[in-house]
């Protein structure tokens, strides 16, 4: 039996080791998926990404803040069916501004230094997703849920 602390550590490890995730938003009931570079804080309560304000994903999350982010460790190999771990983070997104934006950009650029020109552009928004639930899938079928206390 997997304990809460083990699940939390596995989620944290995946968030640290992976650079990309898939953000799911929607508009008028139509789902929309976007590849994002992300960073998270140690406490697992938030995931952050940067996006131009002119994108469909930004328009969608501005209209309805409910989002999902899929992050996984797959390598596109047969072994993924038994070894890969995926998490879906469910939460609400909002643009981050002020001093918190500078703090988050620092974290983001530590993980993604090659995105500095993009991330610091005045046309881009720093978006924070407050996570309510993580759903982790291992061994292709083993599903575990972890709820985040805010």
Q: What average pLDDT does the structure give for the chain?
A: 91
Tell me what the mean pLDDT of segment 64-85 comes to: 83
pLDDT tens digit sequence for 99-146:
999 999 999 999 999 999 999 999 999 999 999 999 998 776 667 667
Residue 63 pLDDT greater than 90, yes or no: yes
Please give the C-alpha separations between residue 103 and each of 109, 110, 121, in angstroms, as whole numbers.
Answer: 10, 11, 16
* Cα(146)–Cα(4) distance, integer angstroms: 8
Query: Which domains occur in the chain, in start order?
Result: 4-147 (2.30.110.10)
* Cα(104)–Cα(85) distance, integer angstroms: 26
* Cα(19)–Cα(15) distance, integer angstroms: 8
pTM score, whole prediction: 0.90
Strand boundaries in 12-117, DSSP class E: 20-27, 30-40, 46-52, 66-72, 85-96
Q: How sure is the predictor about 55, in pLDDT bands with cuts at 50, 70 and 90?
A: very high
């Amino acid at each position: 039996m997997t304990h809460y602390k083990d699940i939390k550590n596995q989620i944290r490890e995946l968030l640290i080791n992976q650079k990309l995730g898939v953000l799911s938003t929607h508009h008028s009931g139509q789902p929309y998926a976007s590849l994002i570079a992300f960073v998270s804080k140690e406490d697992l309560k938030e995931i952050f990404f940067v996006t131009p304000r002119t994108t469909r994903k930004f328009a969608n999350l501005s209209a309805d803040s409910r989002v999902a982010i899929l992050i996984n460790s797959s390598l596109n190999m047969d072994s993924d069916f038994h070894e890969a771990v995926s998490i879906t983070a469910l939460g609400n997104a909002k643009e981050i501004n002020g001093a918190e934006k500078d703090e988050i950009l620092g974290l983001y650029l530590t993980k993604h230094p090659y995105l500095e020109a993009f991330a610091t552009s005045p046309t881009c928004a720093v978006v924070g997703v407050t996570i309510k639930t993580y759903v982790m899938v291992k061994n292709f079928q083993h599903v575990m849920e972890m709820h985040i206390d805010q």
